Amino acid sequence: MENPSFKRDFIDRAIKKVNHSFYFYDLDLLKHQLNNWQKILPDDITLWYACKANPLSAVLKVFRNHGFGIDVASLGELDQAMASGVKPENILATGPAKSKEYLKSMIDNEVGMIILESTSQAKWLNQAAKEAGKKIKALIRVQLEWTEGESVLGGKDITPFGEDESTWRNFNWQELEHLDILGIHVFQWGNILDLPQLKSLWNEMASRCVQLANDMQLPLKLLDLGGGLGIPYEANQKPISFYDVAKELFQLKKKFQLENIYMELGRFAIGPYGHYLTRVIDRKTVRGKELLVLEGGINHMVRPAITKQPFPGELYRQSSAPLSTFQVHGPLCTALDKLGDYQLPNDIAPGDWMIFHQCGAYGFTESMPFFLCHSLPAEVILYNDDLMIPRWPRPSIDWLV
Ligand SMILES: Cc1ncc(COP(=O)(O)O)c(C=O)c1O
C-alpha cells in the first residue's frame, strides 16, 4: 500500500503544541467520507458505528451527525455514547458480558436494540423488561460452526460470542413475552479485504440464519452481520469500495427477503482517518541489525504485538537519504514491544518523528498504556479546519496512586 497522504501543516502545528507522542484524527476527512456513503447507502441497510474501535466523543458525534447509531459493548461505552449526545434509541448493545444488572440498566436507559449473546441473557432481559412493564427490541446472536478459517472474531474457533445453532433451535423464544425478537446477529470474521470472500461469507451466513429462523418459527426481519470490513495495512493491499459493499448488501437483502440488514462498522469506518506520531529516542546496531527505539510503542498502539501485522509507517520529515531496514521497537522492557521492520531513510536519528497510518481504529483504547509508567499519548483532532486537543499527554504522576 502507498502510504496515505496526511495534512502536514496541521500535524506540524500539533507536534509543536503537544511535544509528545499523539494520535491525530482527521475528522474533516471522515465527514467527507461519510457524506459520500450517505449518498450511496439504500434506506434499508442500516450502519452502526462500533465504538470499541475508537470511543473518542468527537468521533462519536461525527457518526451521530451522519445518521449512524452507535454499537456499544460495555457499560463504559454506553455511558460514553450517551454523554456524547447519542440518543438511547440510536444505541445497539453487543458484547458477551451482559449481567442482569447491566441488562436492567440498558432498560432503564431505554437502549434501542439489545443483542442477546446467550439464552440466559434472553431470560434475564425478559424478566427485567417484565418488571419494568416494557417490551424490548432484541436480536439473538448465533455462533455458526465453520470447518476452517482463522479470525480475531473466532472464525472456526469456539468463542464466547453468541450461542450455537442447536441451542437457539431448541430455545422457546415465544415464552419471552416482553421481548420483541426481530432477527439474528452473526459475526465471526474480522478485517477482510476481499469482496468475493465477504460476499461468499455473507451468503452462507444469511442462508444458515434463514434456515435457523425457519426452524425456530422466528420471523426474520433483520439480519445483523456485525463488522469485518478490512482496511489495507500491508503493501499491495487495496481498500474495498464502499459502493461495492453497499451493492452486495442490497442484493443480499433482496435475495433473502429481509426488511433490513445491519452492519456495525469499526475498523473500516474510522481506521483510515487516524495517524499515530512518536519520536525516535535511540538508534543502534545490535548484532548487525539496525534498530530504533521509539518514545511510544505497544503501550500506545498494541495491535502489532497481537496480530504481528505492522502499521504502515514512515519517517515524518522528508529525506532523500537511501533506505535501510530498521527493526523498530517501543520503550517497554519486553521484546513484545516491536512495531515491525521498516524501510526508512538511513539518516533517521534520535529526535526525528515517525508517523504511522491506519491507526484510527483499535489504537488508543486497545493498548496497554500503564506498563512502565510512560506518559499516555495525546489525542488531537482536525475538525472544521480547526486543530483541537481533547486529550493532552498524561504523565504517570497523574494516574499512579
Ligand atoms: C459485535 C461486534 N460488532 C462490530 C465490531 C466491529 O468490527 P470491525 O472493526 O471489524 O468493523 C466488533 C469488533 O470486535 C464486534 O465485536
First-to-final CA distance of the chain? 44
pLDDT in the model for residue 368: 95
Q: What is the mean pLDDT of residues 283-290?
A: 98
Residue 278, pLDDT > 90, answer: yes
Residue 149 pLDDT level (bands cut at 50, 70, 90): confident
Atom number in ligand 1 closest to CA 268: 11
pLDDT in the model for residue 5: 75
Question: Are 277 and 354 in contact, with CB atoms under 8 Å apart?
Answer: yes
Q: What is the pLDDT of residues 226-236, one digit of tens each?
A: 999 999 999 89
Atom number in ligand 1 closest to CA 190: 10
**Taking all residues of the chain, what is their mean pLDDT, rounded to a whole number?**
96
Q: What is the pLDDT of residues 211-225, one digit of tens each?
A: 999 999 999 999 999
CA distance linking residue 218 with residue 258, whole number of Å: 13
Q: Which CATH number fits domain 272-398: 1.10.760.10, 3.40.30.10, 2.40.37.10, 1.10.287.3510?
A: 2.40.37.10
Residue 137 pLDDT level (bands cut at 50, 70, 90): very high
pLDDT in the model for residue 262: 98
Burial of 48: CB neighbours in 10 Å, binned 0-12, 13-18, 19+: buried
CA distance linking residue 400 with residue 239, whole number of Å: 41
Q: What is the mean pLDDT of residues 242-257?
A: 96
pLDDT in the model for residue 147: 85
Residue 25, pLDDT > 70, answer: yes
CA angle 164, 169, 172 (to 5 degrees): 120
CATH class of 27-271: alpha beta
Residue 245 pLDDT level (bands cut at 50, 70, 90): very high
CA distance linking residue 388 with residue 22, whole number of Å: 12
pLDDT in the model for residue 6: 83
Q: What is the mean pLDDT of residues 229-245?
A: 95
Q: What is the pLDDT of residues 303-344, one digit of tens each?
A: 999 999 999 999 999 999 999 999 999 999 999 999 999 999
Residue 163, pLDDT > 90, answer: yes
- Please choose, from the candidates 77, 69, 223, 202, the residue with its C-alpha nearest in 3D space to the C-alpha of residue 140: 223
Residue 175 pLDDT level (bands cut at 50, 70, 90): very high
What lines the ligand 1 site, CB under 6 Å? Answer: 50, 52-53, 71, 94, 153, 187, 190-191, 226-229, 264-268
pLDDT in the model for residue 3: 65
Share of the chain above pLDDT 70, in %: 99
Q: Whose CA is nearest to atom 12 of ligand 1?
A: 227
Q: What is the mean pLDDT of residues 136-156?
A: 91
Q: Would you list the DSSP string of 12-53?
A: HHHHHHH-S-EEEEEHHHHHHHHHHHHHH--TTEEEEEEGGG
Q: What is the mean pLDDT of residues 261-280?
A: 98
Question: What 8-state DSSP symbol labels residue 4?
Answer: P
Residue 91, pLDDT > 70, answer: yes
pLDDT in the model for residue 150: 83
Q: CB under 8 Å, gap of 24 or more: what pairs does 235-238 form?
A: 235/1, 236/1, 237/1, 237/193, 238/1, 238/193
Q: For residue 385, report the phi and psi dihedrals to the nearest 5 degrees.
A: 65, 10
- Mutation pick for ligand 1 pocket among 184, 233, 264 (CB with most ligand atoms within 8 Å): 264
Residue 148, pLDDT > 90, answer: no
Atom number in ligand 1 closest to CA 152: 14
Residues sharing a CB contact under 8 Å with residue 251, sequence separation 6 or more, in sequence order: none
CA distance linking residue 254 with residue 398, whole number of Å: 54
3-state SS record for 99-123: CHHHHHHHHHCCCCEEEECCHHHHH
Residue 1 pLDDT level (bands cut at 50, 70, 90): low
pLDDT in the model for residue 2: 59
Q: Would you list the DSSP string of 119-158?
A: HHHHHHHHHHHHHHT--EEEEEEEE---SS---TT-TTS-
pLDDT in the model for residue 151: 84
The alpha carbon of 51 and the centre of ligand 1 are apart by a number of angstroms equal to: 9
Q: Whose CA is nearest to atom 7 of ligand 1?
A: 227
Q: What is the pLDDT of residues 354-397, one digit of tens each?
A: 999 999 999 999 999 999 999 999 999 999 999 999 999 999 99
Domain ranges (residues) in the chain: 27-271, 272-398
Atom number in ligand 1 closest to CA 230: 10
